[in-house]
């Protein structure tokens, strides 16, 4: 019904205004203390991405500041000559040497700034590539259990959506801060040389702007931080409305109106928060600009007083005006760069914190090795709990798989079958207990080495947007014979034969000349992928879920034929397919409740017999 209240779950609208982020309470002095650290972090990132361009940018900006100071000091000579007594032509001629110095300083300053800009523009793509490679290098290496942790997802969301994208901007802002600081130092140095009392005048026009910039940045970050769960939900709803995969069900279940209502509820609440943020930021900026204008007026009043009491000559006052304007311009740039650096630095810090957390989740180097030819794999008293879950998925499970056996895991949904298989293949590490290949404890073996010895045919396999060849070989190069053999065993050769470009066909219709497969065809490609690996342990997790009865029967026959001399772990709800397994483990709520071959379990008359009888009755 159109007026029915929507259940929005984790993003209840009233929670969007909760500014619970620690940065929301940061004050000006804390920000001032934090800026050097941000600049150092940005420069460190810049150095790793492009050391030569980093050095060039900083050096050229420093030289530009020196030429700015030199030009201002030379301006004093120009003004002194012009304001001196005597005929005008003589005064102009006397000013020419100083004027030439001012012109030369301006040209050199412009050249230095252009060179610094060129080096800085070269840094941007290098930093983007460096940060993206660092992020995706870690996300593809962390332990699989991290993706079951909601906190990891939120941290990844912040790092991926804003952290990576602002990395180059943070470096740019840090360089702008340094450049502006150099300009301020140049102006301050000139004022100090002209008259010490002129230095404090610079602060009067900038402190209000600094307060407004910092306050606005803090408001924005705390608001954006609180909106992360809402925006994630909005993106999910947007994908349901715009992606190809759910498009058919959106139409067949007439979901359009409902999804648009939900999207509008989230978007409107987000809009209200952002409008409130804009109002608060505008008020802060107006107050800052008003106070800044008052400070500027006081600067010129102070200069007038100094001239009136003859504390400084007219030429020095003229140079002081130029120096103050230069300093104000640099101060304005500094405040703008500081604002950007602080605001984007918060997101950049999210990126750095995620990387630090991800590095802690990367398995440590392990010196062990998987035996070349194992005799048995044993999981002993294994317990495992998913992150955030209250109850363990596995409770004291012990299983044994001998070389060359076909072992089956059966049980109802949620019994822990797939979790146990992932532990055996090294994708998850148990909380307690051990998994060993012969005498080698898997906990001491490099994960990739174990995974190369294991092949998984999963029900929820990935439909890679790659060619048919790469969907089977997964980037390995074992030759054409191995590719065609694996495809033939899985029945994928029939699928490839119907593709317009054979193994070179791109299996994604979103791209030009791309082709889409049916669920059953994708299943055969996934099976061929597992066979192509030629692994010591082949794990088949519901490998026939998308196949028709004839194709299912043919596939299990092929698995039995292909498994000769290999070890196969079969997970399936279709119990007729496990009758010929050497040993069947029955799991119930994370525990092994029964084990044995088909005849023994049927004689036991327990859960397996009950499930098997129920399925068999449907075919009588």
Residues 52 and 171 both lie in one domain? yes
Phi first, then psi: what are they for 410, rounded to 5°?
-130, 160
pLDDT for the residue 14: 32
Read off the CATH number of the domain in which 191 is found. Answer: 1.20.1560.10
Range of the domain at 295: 9-361
Average of per-residue pLDDT values in the chain: 79
Residues 471 and 354 both lie in one domain? no
- The number of C-alpha atoms within 13 Å of 472 and in the hemisphere containing its C-beta is 34
Cα-Cα-Cα-Cα dihedral of 364, 369, 374, 378, to 10°?
Answer: -30
pLDDT for the residue 11: 41
- H or E stretch at 324: helix 314-361
Query: For the chain, how many structural domains are there in total?
Result: 2
User: Taking residues 105-117, what's their average pLDDT?
Assistant: 88
Higher-pLDDT residue of 384, 79: 384
> Over pLDDT 90: what percentage of the chain?
7
Q: How confident is the model at residue 1 (pLDDT cuts 50, 70, 90)?
A: very low
pLDDT tens, position by position, 226-244: 777 777 778 788 888 888 7
Whether residue 407 lies inside any domain: the answer is no
Residues 207 and 353 both lie in one domain? yes
Report the chain's C-alpha Rg in angstroms. Answer: 35
pLDDT for the residue 592: 92
Is pLDDT above 90 for 383? yes
Whether residue 329 lies inside any domain: the answer is yes
Domain boundary among 485, 510, 531: 531
pLDDT for the residue 21: 47
pLDDT for the residue 545: 62
Whether residue 604 lies inside any domain: the answer is no
Read off the CATH number of the domain in which 525 is found. Answer: 3.40.50.300
Q: Which of 35-44, 269-278, 293-302 has the lowest mean pLDDT?
A: 293-302
Residues 204 and 346 both lie in one domain? yes
Whether residue 583 lies inside any domain: the answer is no
Whether residue 142 lies inside any domain: the answer is yes
pTM for the complete prediction?
0.69
Q: Which of 49-53, 201-205, 268-272, 421-425 has the lowest mean pLDDT?
A: 201-205
Is pLDDT above 60 for 27? no
For helices 88-139 and 164-194, what crossing angle results, to 10°? 150
Question: Which of 597, 554, 547, 560 is CA-nearest to residue 575?
Answer: 597
Domain boundary among 314, 331, 361: 361
Residues 345 and 477 both lie in one domain? no
Instruction: Count CB atoms within 10 A of the CB of residue 119.
Output: 21
Is pLDDT above 70 for 82? no
pLDDT tens, position by position, 84-105: 666 767 666 776 777 788 788 8
Residue 454 DSSP SS3: strand
Whether residue 442 lies inside any domain: the answer is no
Handedness of CA 350, 355, 357, 361 (dihedral sign): positive
d(CA 191, CA 325): 11
Residues 347 and 480 both lie in one domain? no
pLDDT for the residue 229: 72
Q: How confident is the model at residue 206 (pLDDT cuts 50, 70, 90)?
A: low
d(CA 305, CA 36): 37
């Amino acid at each position: 019904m159109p007026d029915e209240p929507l259940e929005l779950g984790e993003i209840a609208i009233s929670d969007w205004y909760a500014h619970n982020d620690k940065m929301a309470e940061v004050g000006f002095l804390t920000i001032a203390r934090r800026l050097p650290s941000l600049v150092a972090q940005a420069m460190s990132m810049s150095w790793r991405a492009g050391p030569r361009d980093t050095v060039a940018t900083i050096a050229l900006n420093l030289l530009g500041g020196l030429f700015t100071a030199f030009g201002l000091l030379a301006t004093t000579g120009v003004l002194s000559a012009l304001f001196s007594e005597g005929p005008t032509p003589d005064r102009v001629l006397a000013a020419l040497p100083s004027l030439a110095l001012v012109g030369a300083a301006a040209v050199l300053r412009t050249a230095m700034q252009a060179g610094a800009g060129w080096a800085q523009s070269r840094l941007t793509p290098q930093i983007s590539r460096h940060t993206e490679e660092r992020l995706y290098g870690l996300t593809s290496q962390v332990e699989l259990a991290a993706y079951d942790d909601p906190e990891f997802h939120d941290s990844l969301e912040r790092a991926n959506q804003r952290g990576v994208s602002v990395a180059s901007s943070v470096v740019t802002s840090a360089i702008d801060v340094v450049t502006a600081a150099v300009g301020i130092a140049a102006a301050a140095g000139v004022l100090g040389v002209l008259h010490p009392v002129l230095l404090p005048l610079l602060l009067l026009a900038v402190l209000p702007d600094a307060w407004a910039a910092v306050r606005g940045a803090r408001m924005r970050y705390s608001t954006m931080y609180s909106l992360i769960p809402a925006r994630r939900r909005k993106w999910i709803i947007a994908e349901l409305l715009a992606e190809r995969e759910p498009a058919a069900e959106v139409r067949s279940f007439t979901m359009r109106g409902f999804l648009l209502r939900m999207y509008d509820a989230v978007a409107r609440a987000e809009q209200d928060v952002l409008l409130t943020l804009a109002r608060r930021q505008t008020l802060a900026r107006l107050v800052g600009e008003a106070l800044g204008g008052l400070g500027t007026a006081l600067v010129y009043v102070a200069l007038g007083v100094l001239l009136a009491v003859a504390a400084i000559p007219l030429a020095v006052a003229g140079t002081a005006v130029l120096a103050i304007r230069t300093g104000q311009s640099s101060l304005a740039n500094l405040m703008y760069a500081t604002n950007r650096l602080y605001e984007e630095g918060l997101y950049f810090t999210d990126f750095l914190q995620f990387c630090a957390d991800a590095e802690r989740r990367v398995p440590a180097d392990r010196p062990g090795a998987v035996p070349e030819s194992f005799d048995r794999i044993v999981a002993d008293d294994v317990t495992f709990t998913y992150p955030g879950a209250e109850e363990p998925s596995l409770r004291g499970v012990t299983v044994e798989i001998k070389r060359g056996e076909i072992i089956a895991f059966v049980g109802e949904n949620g019994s822990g079958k797939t979790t146990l298989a992932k532990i055996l293949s090294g994708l998850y590490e148990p909380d307690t207990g051990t998994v060993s290949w012969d005498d080698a404890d898997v906990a001491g073996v490099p994960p990739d080495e174990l995974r190369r010895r294991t092949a998984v045919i999963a029900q929820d396999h990935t439909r890679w947007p790659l060619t048919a060849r790469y969907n089977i070989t997964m980037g390995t190069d074992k030759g054409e014979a191995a590719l065609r053999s694996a495809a033939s065993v899985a029945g994928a050769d029939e699928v490839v034969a119907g593709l317009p470009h054979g193994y070179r066909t791109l299996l994604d219709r979103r791209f030009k000349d791309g082709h889409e497969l049916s669920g059953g065809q994708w299943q055969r490609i996934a099976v061929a992928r597992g066979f192509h690996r030629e692994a010591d342990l082949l794990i088949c997790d519901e490998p026939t879920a998308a196949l028709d009865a004839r194709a299912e029967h043919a596939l299990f026959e092929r698995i039995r034929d292909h498994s000769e001399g290999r070890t196969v772990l079969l997970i399936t709800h279709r119990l007729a397919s496990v009758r010929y397994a050497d040993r069947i483990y029955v799991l119930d709520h994370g525990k092994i409740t029964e084990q044995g071959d088909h005849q023994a379990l049927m004689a036991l008359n327990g859960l397996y017999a009950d499930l098997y009888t129920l399925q068999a009755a449907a075919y009588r």
